[in-house]
Amino acid sequence: MSRFLIPLFVLTLGMTQSLFANSPGETIVESEQVLSELMAIPGKQIPHRLLDEAQGIAIIPNVIKIGFVAGARRGHGLVMVKDHDGEWSLPQFVTLTGGSVGWQAGIQGTDVVLVFTTRKSVEGLLKGKFTVGVDASVSAGPVGREAAAGTDATLRSEILSYSRSRGLFVGVSLDGTALEIDHDAHAFYYGTPSGALPKRVPGAAAELRHFLAELTPKHTTPVVTEERPAPVVSPRLIEALRRSLVRNSDQLQTILSPEWKPYLALPKEIDEPGHYPSAESLTLVLSRFTHINSSPDYRRLAQRPEFQNTYEQLREYEHAVASARPVLQLPPPPKHSQKD
């Protein structure tokens, strides 16, 4: 059977390239969506401290793994690198390729995010072709807002990997996968060769760079002189939360009986991007979820992942929207004397 493996590998890789290739502009847009949605997943996001300390980040949306006897991986994404002043570069385009042999079937789409923890690993990628697990060690990254790189494997790894899988396969293995700078895509998108100042900076590239800067503010030791208001949540993160909440709610609705659907329905304004529900409507639906979650009578429903995912996302969304509502920043009110 081995004489059939190479032609079949080439065929599956060719199918992947032709069917799932995106333009550079589409790659930018999809990469920002992947990053924003990953950072909006409560308890499963990349820790902000890791992003703060990262030397680079690669985002490859919709990596396709297709095969029956021979399998192939193919993806088109981007990489962004910090300079010595801690500023993020404009996105540079990369391709991801890799193959494996085994009894596999089906098509898998996996969004992949790689966090480069060392300058050496980033510079290795920028030099050209780079093999994950060979030119730099890789391990699954920790998740959660305050999570730390606690295991020995993570501490030694030069790349931390994150993924979100769709389809028939579970998880993603990247050892032996090649990342390579896509010079043609870079020249097409920016009008200049890689390494040269771009003739043009499309708005989507500038926006993605700005968004990543929002996620990784420079840490300095603050001089505490007065109490400061909490930072406002980025509109991009709120939109990512909204999309994720709607998806989770739709999944919950499919398991509910007709009398339960309206009781646990979200405010209708959530269905429209850029529209915030009223504080009262959010408080009402959140109180219903909280009641179900704490009542022994509804334990069967409360223990369902569809309910818990929606409840967790709803709490996160409500908190984000509350922080984004405009609040007047005023000095303390005047002190009234007894004469007043």
Q: What is the pLDDT of residues 49-68, one digit of tens each?
A: 888 889 999 999 988 766 55
What is the mean pLDDT of the segment spanning 139-158? 63
Over residues 178-230, the pLDDT tens digits come to: 889 999 999 999 999 888 889 999 999 999 998 898 888 764 444 333 443 44
Query: What would the mean pLDDT of 7-17 be, rounded to a whole number?
Result: 46
What is the reported pLDDT for 143? 73
- pLDDT of 248 reads 87
Clarify whether residues 45 and 142 are in a common domain: yes
For the chain, give the mean pLDDT: 78
One domain for residues 159 and 190: yes
Residues 156 and 259 in one domain: no
9 confidence band (pLDDT: 50, 70, 90)? very low
Give yes or no: residues 240 and 125 share one domain. no
Domain contains 229:
no
User: CB neighbours of 153 closer than 8 A, spacing ≥ 6?
Assistant: 139
pTM, 2 dp: 0.70
Residue 104 pLDDT level (bands cut at 50, 70, 90): very low
Same domain? For 250 and 189 the reply is no
Residues 153, 50, single domain; the answer is yes
Does residue 182 share a domain with residue 95? yes
> Are 140 and 284 contained in the same domain?
no
pLDDT at 78: 94
Based on the structure, what is the number of domains in the chain? 2
Helix axes 279-294, 305-324, angle to 10 degrees: 150
**Res 235 pLDDT > 50:** yes
Residue pair 111/161 in contact by the 8 Å Cβ criterion: no
On whether both 210 and 259 belong to a single domain, the answer is no
- Answer whether residue 223 is part of any domain: no
- 337 vs 9: CA distance, rounded Å: 85
- Please indicate, yes or no, whether residues 251 and 192 belong to a single structural domain of this protein: no
Residue 36 lies in a domain: yes
Residue 147 belongs to what domain range?
Answer: 2-214
Tokens matching residue 329: 């920043």
Higher pLDDT pick, 130 / 56: 56
